[in-house]
Chains A and B, each alone.
Chain A
């Protein structure tokens, strides 16, 4: 706990703290998340691949690590920054400590720094590259390596996080629908929710083509969340175009950006992104507000005033974030397709938007 570690941002700002998790050196995009619960789900969310995550909540690790809450097969963050790691975990489900888990999975972290100062810095200057090291003591040297490390823009990462082989999540209770889910970094909670709605979910690798998708003769197609720059995801965009208008489509997060691109909209990088579990998103039809779980650094650039006309007919922005007006959802008016930028599957986060999974099955039923 007391071995020194340093964190250096690409603009040179340096923080000194203690080694946490695995000792070593790591690089990635520095992002902060403001969730006060759910670090285990956060760490295992593939969308964080190649990102060094800063937890604004000071005490992390209090409930240890259990076997039920991981959202994927491993921890994906490339580095972890916390202020006060728990010394002992305390929860009836806890199996081991977070510290041990990070070490076991080779995740380099740093603790004991002014995470609020770091967060304010990122808020002002935007997400940027960062290096964390418990072996290098010279910030200058580390800075050089940070500057050599790749950035997020133009990064195509879905391929690195997707499932190598297709697999099937069976429906819970009677099977009502077959869903083809393209895994761009999918979280376990998503197929789980679909299965509870009576969907048999065929999870396909990110390389799946329209043909591969149609091959499972799905009632509906789903494009998952995932890491990286949507501008590079030409494969998934093409695949989606191939099923758009043919099958009901639902997308979450990265999937929302893919749909956006398929419809002809652009995407752009947010200054510091939305990461947390307290984002107010408004459904523009009902004016209802859902407090939602977010994890996105990019957003869709679609007109919020009135429906836009696309190759696939009229499309409206269905949801917006009330904090900054960012597009949080798309709804096609002439074909069965919709998507949201946030995470209705929560994990971590509120369950306010789980009804979207029913909306998806309703859409499949209506277009059966």
Chain B
């Protein structure tokens, strides 16, 4: 069937900020979709509030709306764009829910917009678990029995029928938020109460448990001619009970006979047909009873999903891309398989390798959170590895995690069963490692299978690893055969060294190379070698035949950022992808190395060559060697993927790898405290007073010298790990004992903590001569809240020209002093008119994409070019960089606000206080002509609309009371009823704010049962909460309870007075009437026009460089 001719313009809804359960896999799908739509000559518009995405790059659509993904805002966009079709199946649950809401409000009908891919009925049948049971009944498929309840009491009755344990699932929540197991009535009651609140429709499904069964997923596609194919089968190593997103998963399925597999396939097709997904991809999950083979359908997602992204990377079959073509009316046979080019997409990929995905968790970021894995997702990212065997893939995946202790340990002393068996039994983030230790301690496969529910086949593979490790340890000396055997099972040089004990990693490598034990690179070709692959998508294996073809042009390797984690997410992938585009255009052959299946960078369309490999020194060196065998490697880019590649720079250079851009030595200058101190000193710049302590005594001495409060942290940090603000000796001692194993090797850094300081983030580009200031971002929250967690605004709204000039000079001095070639991110704090330098990161920063979107400058692209020798001046001539720079944005440039999104709702009970340790998973951008509106948009995109009336509760630390008066008064004037705790209320009353006193939790209820504030919050009587932590940031009972109640009730909760001040402006903007929407393209046109009108720029240009020249 040919493409439909009645659809000329399409609106795509993205998935918004990165949150747990919805990460950058939807940027990958969305970007593919946009590409297809444009290639098909349609007019494409997009709504997505996440600026860190590739899909929101203006060149991917005619109109890119970086606006909140809410029915209200999307309606505005529809009104402005009048699209023929709406594509909501590529933006995860967010897009799907929004589409349903738009339909229910009659918006789609009103504007005559057709929902493409899945109809409303199909979405409902798939997503609404009650309706879905009907689907299963209709096709005679088996499922776990369940009942939908709207009250706790109903739930208890149902429990009577189904028995415990039970699975609770709030309807329409992301990644199963709020769901889990209730083992008894008490648990049932509390979980149900919370779940009913969390569900947007206030329903919870109470379901029979099939805990411990084997779990499978099928990725299915259907076209409008009713052709169906299975793209990939996925088997979970973790049995039912652990969310697939948190499970170690394997493709293809390993333990199904053809009979069982075909039955599953038949059911999957019956489901997608019955649900009525007309075209596109769906994901269907099954549970299989290992004892009887009984199969039950768990759920289906009528859209592309995390698993479909994984399946696409695992098979080379681009589900999102093809789903989009199908939505336009093509049929599978009309779409070529772009890997073989000669065969059609109407087939089922066959794998001759094994794929293993392992999730990445961030529990260390949330002290007090429960690390037990259950039915709702807790992981923040994932890695994927390919190998010619399960063992090879598994071990590559564990080292791809870049997490201490993730690589399987066969070297340390064997522990005891008593210690390890319980750990192996409890599903948690390190269960795989525990299972291996239990095995080493003597647990049999039978025991472990019984205890963990993990299939014996997988357990035997782990046992096999143990045997290989034993051979390694036992071998008289390492000969080629022993080494090769170990390598074939994925053992890294590090592991081998540890097992041998007498060797270091480098020694093993030298020996291995001397013996000629090297990996070959195989190709992902969708067809198990039946047809030739035209796409260079490779993975390493210690097998016989290498498939790397010679390169034509000079090659540049770009090292990616590995698994998403807090502190290193999609923003870094964004910069890597831009480097691929820019360097390809500049005539290089781009070679991407990464192991994160969710990303755009690991789409084989993004770079000229893709290596799906771990980002360890060993794996990268082998890729470099392979690429050198097949052509000239002019450089390796380590600056764009965050700390991961940056950390490899020195070792790669020592191994003779050409690192382009900022040299490893220069990187060291910026990262090593002492060295950086000297750089600042030479430049006449100030850092907060600081010292380095090797013991508690030293720490105490230093602190007393520089004075409290101080900020303490271990010397090696990423994303502010282990940082705390300390106000007194007691806490200092406690910190030293608790948070660090302080020692000469691991000193603790002590900094004077700057109170009441404005924090400023700067992203800049330096070519050795000239500085291009990308942007100056003013944080909303004061210094002390991690730059990644605080909202910020660009252009800065309270900084004057003089400040910006100072910042510019300081940045340039640092760039020069460090010797930056490429990107530089500097964090400043301004306190009492002193400009302090907090830190400098000689790499792409988290904010680079935000700056690019806000200022219409492709910073990362320019950086990539500069790293390979282009000058800022040259890039200005090419038109990649504008005249002038981010320091002199036109006055009428739009105001862009970045707000961080925090995963509190995922970690019940964890205090929601912000601090120097980064905790956010993603970000959104609000853009408009004025600050208030832009801020309001950012809040709505991140947490939901700010209230425009109602009740506000305020309770702040003494140090904040003064700053509270004006915003609180303003709210009162705006007609808000102000509730406050005694202390805060007094201050407000004295300042003419009629504040009502409410009981603290610690006061308890009054004798006539007067409610405490927590009661009132839970009762939904409060619309806005302002609660700043008292003194130091430990969970003080009241504040803690208040903030947690706010989270569970989904009420906006501001934890800094600065945020309140901004919120007040936002609320005023909201009340002053209609908020409009505008595409990025229009904002950018405005900036560009103003720039060219401005004529001679204040900074930049050759003149600028010589002026600022070395002094």
Shortest distance from the beta carbon of B850 to any chain A beta carbon, whole Å: 44
The reply to whether A349 and B258 form a contact with Cβ atoms under 8 Å apart is yes
Shortest distance from the beta carbon of B488 to any chain A beta carbon, whole Å: 9
* A35 touches B (CB below 8 Å): yes
| A116 touching B227 in the complex, CB below 8 Å, given contacts A36-B252, A66-B257, A280-B347 | no
Task: Provide the residues of chain A in CB contact with B498, threshold 8 Å.
Answer: none
Which secondary structure dominates where chain B touches chain A?
loop
Task: Provide the residues of chain B in CB contact with A92, threshold 8 Å.
Answer: 290-293
| A322 touching B457 in the complex, CB below 8 Å, given contacts A119-B529, A276-B530 | no
The one of B333, B343, B349, B352 that contacts A115, using a Cβ cutoff of 8 Å: B352
- Could you tell me the distance between the alpha carbons of A35 and B527 in the complex, rounded to whole angstroms? 10
Closest partner residue, chain A, to B344 (CB atom): A322
* A256 touches B (CB below 8 Å): no
| A117 touching B293 in the complex, CB below 8 Å, given contacts A36-B351, A280-B346 | no
Chain B interface residue count, CB cutoff 8 Å, equals 56
The reply to whether B257 and A351 form a contact with Cβ atoms under 8 Å apart is no
Shortest distance from the beta carbon of A122 to any chain B beta carbon, whole Å: 9
- Could you tell me the distance between the alpha carbons of A351 and B265 in the complex, rounded to whole angstroms? 9
A54-62, A137-145, A234-242, A245-253: which one contacts chain B? Answer: A54-62
| A62 touching B530 in the complex, CB below 8 Å, given contacts A90-B456, A278-B349, A280-B333 | no
- Could you tell me the distance between the alpha carbons of A32 and B271 in the complex, rounded to whole angstroms? 33
The reply to whether A34 and B389 form a contact with Cβ atoms under 8 Å apart is no
Shortest distance from the beta carbon of B1028 to any chain A beta carbon, whole Å: 56
Task: Provide the residues of chain B in CB contact with A68, threshold 8 Å.
Answer: 259
* A346 touches B (CB below 8 Å): yes
Task: Provide the residues of chain A in CB contact with B1075, threshold 8 Å.
Answer: none
* B353 touches A (CB below 8 Å): yes
- Could you tell me the distance between the alpha carbons of A115 and B522 in the complex, rounded to whole angstroms? 12
| A59 touching B389 in the complex, CB below 8 Å, given contacts A38-B258, A117-B543, A119-B352 | yes
The one of B226, B256, B456 that contacts A37, using a Cβ cutoff of 8 Å: B256
* A101 touches B (CB below 8 Å): no
| A91 touching B255 in the complex, CB below 8 Å, given contacts A62-B457, A280-B333, A289-B333 | yes
A80-88, A154-162, A297-305, A334-342: which one contacts chain B? Answer: A80-88
The reply to whether B347 and A34 form a contact with Cβ atoms under 8 Å apart is no
Task: Provide the residues of chain A in CB contact with B255, threshold 8 Å.
Answer: 62-63, 90-91
The reply to whether A34 and B258 form a contact with Cβ atoms under 8 Å apart is no
The reply to whether A56 and B256 form a contact with Cβ atoms under 8 Å apart is no
* A93 touches B (CB below 8 Å): yes
Task: Provide the residues of chain A in CB contact with B544, threshold 8 Å.
Answer: 15, 113-114, 117
Task: Provide the residues of chain B in CB contact with A119, threshold 8 Å.
Answer: 352, 528-530
Task: Provide the residues of chain B in CB contact with A89, threshold 8 Å.
Answer: 457
* B151 touches A (CB below 8 Å): no
Shortest distance from the beta carbon of A99 to any chain B beta carbon, whole Å: 13
Task: Provide the residues of chain A in CB contact with B262, threshold 8 Å.
Answer: 37, 346, 348-351
The one of A84, A87, A282, A291 that contacts B389, using a Cβ cutoff of 8 Å: A84
Task: Provide the residues of chain B in CB contact with A278, threshold 8 Å.
Answer: 347-350, 527
The reply to whether A59 and B265 form a contact with Cβ atoms under 8 Å apart is no
The reply to whether B545 and A117 form a contact with Cβ atoms under 8 Å apart is yes
- Could you tell me the distance between the alpha carbons of A115 and B233 in the complex, rounded to whole angstroms? 22
Closest partner residue, chain A, to B389 (CB atom): A84
Residue in A15, A41, A56, A123 with the greatest tally of chain B CB atoms within 10 Å: A56
Within 8 A of B (CB), among A97-155: 113-117, 119-120, 123
Closest partner residue, chain A, to B353 (CB atom): A58
* A77 touches B (CB below 8 Å): no
Within 8 A of B (CB), among A220-234: none
* B254 touches A (CB below 8 Å): yes
Task: Provide the residues of chain B in CB contact with A69, threshold 8 Å.
Answer: 257-259
The reply to whether B457 and A88 form a contact with Cβ atoms under 8 Å apart is yes
The one of B331, B342, B390, B527 that contacts A34, using a Cβ cutoff of 8 Å: B527
Shortest distance from the beta carbon of B460 to any chain A beta carbon, whole Å: 5
Task: Provide the residues of chain A in CB contact with B258, threshold 8 Å.
Answer: 35, 37-38, 40-41, 69, 277, 347-349
The one of B254, B456, B529 that contacts A116, using a Cβ cutoff of 8 Å: B529
* A287 touches B (CB below 8 Å): yes
The reply to whether A120 and B257 form a contact with Cβ atoms under 8 Å apart is no
| A289 touching B332 in the complex, CB below 8 Å, given contacts A92-B291, A119-B529, A350-B262 | yes
| A86 touching B457 in the complex, CB below 8 Å, given contacts A116-B543, A289-B227, A323-B531 | yes
- Could you tell me the distance between the alpha carbons of A126 and B681 in the complex, rounded to whole angstroms? 72
Task: Provide the residues of chain A in CB contact with B543, threshold 8 Å.
Answer: 114, 116-117
The reply to whether B225 and A287 form a contact with Cβ atoms under 8 Å apart is yes
Shortest distance from the beta carbon of A210 to any chain B beta carbon, whole Å: 36
Residue in B255, B343, B352 with the greatest tally of chain A CB atoms within 10 Å: B352
Within 8 A of B (CB), among A281-325: 282, 287-289, 291, 322-324
The one of A34, A59, A323 that contacts B254, using a Cβ cutoff of 8 Å: A59
| A282 touching B529 in the complex, CB below 8 Å, given contacts A36-B252, A88-B460 | no
Interface string of B212-225 (1 = CB under 8 A from A): 00000000000001
* A197 touches B (CB below 8 Å): no
Task: Provide the residues of chain B in CB contact with A113, threshold 8 Å.
Answer: 544
Task: Provide the residues of chain A in CB contact with B1083, threshold 8 Å.
Answer: none
Closest partner residue, chain A, to B388 (CB atom): A58
The reply to whether A57 and B545 form a contact with Cβ atoms under 8 Å apart is no
* A279 touches B (CB below 8 Å): yes
Task: Provide the residues of chain A in CB contact with B352, threshold 8 Å.
Answer: 34, 56-58, 115-116, 119
* B229 touches A (CB below 8 Å): yes
Shortest distance from the beta carbon of B1093 to any chain A beta carbon, whole Å: 58
Task: Provide the residues of chain B in CB contact with A115, threshold 8 Å.
Answer: 352
- Could you tell me the distance between the alpha carbons of A346 and B265 in the complex, rounded to whole angstroms? 13
Shortest distance from the beta carbon of A72 to any chain B beta carbon, whole Å: 15
- Could you tell me the distance between the alpha carbons of A117 and B523 in the complex, rounded to whole angstroms? 11
Shortest distance from the beta carbon of A226 to any chain B beta carbon, whole Å: 21
- Could you tell me the distance between the alpha carbons of A348 and B259 in the complex, rounded to whole angstroms? 8
Task: Provide the residues of chain A in CB contact with B460, threshold 8 Å.
Answer: 86-88, 90
* B266 touches A (CB below 8 Å): yes
- Could you tell me the distance between the alpha carbons of A156 and B233 in the complex, rounded to whole angstroms? 39
Within 8 A of A (CB), among B323-345: 331-333, 342-344
The reply to whether A123 and B388 form a contact with Cβ atoms under 8 Å apart is no
The one of B256, B346, B350 that contacts A289, using a Cβ cutoff of 8 Å: B346
Task: Provide the residues of chain B in CB contact with A279, threshold 8 Å.
Answer: 347
Shortest distance from the beta carbon of B307 to any chain A beta carbon, whole Å: 18
Shortest distance from the beta carbon of B107 to any chain A beta carbon, whole Å: 36
* B111 touches A (CB below 8 Å): no
The one of B254, B257, B332 that contacts A93, using a Cβ cutoff of 8 Å: B257
Task: Provide the residues of chain B in CB contact with A66, threshold 8 Å.
Answer: 257
- Could you tell me the distance between the alpha carbons of A226 and B174 in the complex, rounded to whole angstroms? 52
Task: Provide the residues of chain B in CB contact with A277, threshold 8 Å.
Answer: 258, 348
The reply to whether A37 and B261 form a contact with Cβ atoms under 8 Å apart is yes
The reply to whether B529 and A57 form a contact with Cβ atoms under 8 Å apart is no
Shortest distance from the beta carbon of A127 to any chain B beta carbon, whole Å: 13
Shortest distance from the beta carbon of B286 to any chain A beta carbon, whole Å: 15
Shortest distance from the beta carbon of B342 to any chain A beta carbon, whole Å: 8
* B1023 touches A (CB below 8 Å): no
Residues of B bordering A, CB below 8 Å: 1, 225-227, 229, 233, 252-259, 261-262, 265-266, 290-293, 331-333, 342-344, 346-354, 388-390, 445, 455-457, 460, 464, 522, 527-532, 543-545
Residues of A bordering B, CB below 8 Å: 15, 32, 34-38, 40-41, 56-59, 62-63, 66, 68-69, 83-84, 86-93, 113-117, 119-120, 123, 276-280, 282, 287-289, 291, 322-324, 346-351
Known interface pairs A34-B530, A83-B388; 5 further A-B residue pairs with C-beta atoms within 8 A, sorted by A's residue number: A34-B350, A66-B257, A84-B389, A90-B456, A276-B530
For this complex, 11 residue pairs linking A to B, each with C-beta atoms less than 8 Å apart, are A36-B233, A57-B528, A58-B389, A90-B456, A93-B257, A116-B528, A116-B529, A287-B331, A287-B333, A291-B348, A350-B265
Across chains A and B, which 4 residue pairs bring their CB atoms closest together, nearest first?
Answer: A38-B258, A114-B544, A117-B545, A56-B528
